[in-house]
Amino acid sequence: MSELSAEEIAKRERDSAIPFVDLRDGARGVLTWAQMDGDDLADAAIELIGEATRIAQHLDEDSRTIYTVIIGRKTSQFTDKLIHHGADVVYVIEDERLTDYLTLPFTNAMVSAIREIKPEIALMSASTLGRDLAPRIAGILDLGLSADCTSFEVGLYVNRRKNQKFEKAFKMVRPSFGESKLATIVGPWCYPQMATARPGVFKPLDIDTSRTGKVIEFKPEWESKDFDVELIESVRNPSTIDLSKADIMVAGGFGMGKDGFGLLRELVDAINDNGQKAEIGASRAAVDAGFVDYAYQIGQTGKTVRPSIYVAIGISGAIQHLAGMKESSKIFAVNNDHKASIFKNADYGLVMDYQEAIPELIKQVKAGYKFPLDK
């Protein structure tokens, strides 16, 4: 074991004299927002409950209840699903007027639920809607908010300036400085400690249909101004394409050129025709070059996906791209440069020109080849 420096010894001695504090004032449990996606639950709803459960295992025993708030018009049909994925208590806020997400009533509903539940931690998705909702809640409740987190930890936090030690501080980790560094944010001075979590990053728990939980119908006091804004129409554009639904993602890079993306689309169509769910993905260089819409960009400044199979064609394997796909179950890389760093992160590699590889793949799929999926 290496010897500690005199400075380190002095620091540890000083830290041991710092008293532990607990400022939670009765705040207990982890709350999540079960976001809807049209008439269905958004994947983020289930992902957040999974992560909340993992976080809660490191909190005090009396703070391990997972509360989930679901808001909408016909939401009680989803309570079982939420419980089967890990929620202990589901707060259902139903109202005929809540056909779609509306900023004001959703904010009021969440603020009321948080005041009622008093959780230690509150998590929302860093989706477009979560990014609208979470800061409003934080503003009204005078809380801090760590946005777009990609991991969470619970552990010792020493604040020497305030002479305070927190035994189980909530540590919210997010990329910063142009996504080149990871920042860990703590805020154990106001509760709940709030964060939004990047969609697609966190794994849901496996479904357990034997789980039981409590369902509470919660009625916030609506204010007349809550419904001042009327939603006349909502239109989905390509940037809301949900890439997370694909089991097989076929992603192209700058090496493909615009024509290469035509071939990629043919491959994806062939896979879908063959009964498997596939979608196109792209590197930022391909998006910047105008080969494909930004909605398909995978990576730190694009989407995060974790399909069963990720096929990366003509993609070099930059760290910013890997950040969005490295959790895929199996990665298959095609590149004509055997030194491309994508091969270091791939389970299978093919050193080949895409113009040879893709037509061959299309041929195999059309002949009935199915990709081996693990989920």
User: Contact region for ligand FAD (CB under 6 A) — 14-22, 235-243, 261-269, 312-320?
Assistant: 312-320
The nearest distance, CB 290 to ligand FAD, in angstroms, is 13
The nearest distance, CB 352 to ligand FAD, in angstroms, is 7
According to DSSP, the β-strands at 214-217 and 89-94 are parallel
Cis previous bond, 135, omega within 30: no
The nearest distance, CB 287 to ligand FAD, in angstroms, is 8
> Considering the rule CB under 6 A, would residue 171 count as an interface residue with ligand FAD?
no
Classify residue 205 by its DSSP letter.
P
Q: Candidates 35, 300, 304, 308: give the one binding ligand FAD (CB under 6 A).
A: 300
> Considering the rule CB under 6 A, would residue 290 count as an interface residue with ligand FAD?
no
- Please tell me the distance from the alpha carbon of residue 335 to that of residue 354, in angstroms, as a whole number: 7
> Considering the rule CB under 6 A, would residue 307 count as an interface residue with ligand FAD?
no
> Considering the rule CB under 6 A, would residue 302 count as an interface residue with ligand FAD?
yes
> Considering the rule CB under 6 A, would residue 253 count as an interface residue with ligand FAD?
yes
> Considering the rule CB under 6 A, would residue 273 count as an interface residue with ligand FAD?
no
Secondary element (H or E) of residue 128: helix 128-141
- Please tell me the distance from the alpha carbon of residue 354 to that of residue 286, in angstroms, as a whole number: 14
> Considering the rule CB under 6 A, would residue 129 count as an interface residue with ligand FAD?
no
- Please tell me the distance from the alpha carbon of residue 196 to that of residue 172, in angstroms, as a whole number: 9
The nearest distance, CB 355 to ligand FAD, in angstroms, is 6
Task: Please say which residue, 223 or 347, places its beta carbon nearer to ligand FAD.
Answer: 347
Angstrom distances, CA of residue 90 to CA of 29, 48, 81, 83, 213: 13, 14, 10, 8, 8
* Residues linked to residue 10 through DSSP beta bridges, in sequence order: none
Token readout for 252 is 């192209």
User: Contact region for ligand FAD (CB under 6 A) — 3-11, 60-68, 109-117, 277-285?
Assistant: 277-285
- By rule CB under 6 A, what count of residues binds ligand FAD? 29
Q: Say if CB 255 and CB 314 are below 8 A apart.
A: yes
Residue ranges in 349-368 that form contacts with ligand FAD under rule CB under 6 A: 353-354
> Considering the rule CB under 6 A, would residue 321 count as an interface residue with ligand FAD?
yes
- Please tell me the distance from the alpha carbon of residue 22 to that of residue 119, in angstroms, as a whole number: 14
> Considering the rule CB under 6 A, would residue 343 count as an interface residue with ligand FAD?
no
- Please tell me the distance from the alpha carbon of residue 272 to that of residue 264, in angstroms, as a whole number: 12
Angstrom distances, CA of residue 234 to CA of 100, 105, 242, 245: 9, 17, 16, 21
Task: Please say which residue, 213 or 253, places its beta carbon nearer to ligand FAD.
Answer: 253
- Give the residues lining the site for ligand FAD (CB under 6 A): 178-179, 253-255, 283-286, 297-302, 314-316, 318, 320-321, 324, 334-337, 340, 353-354
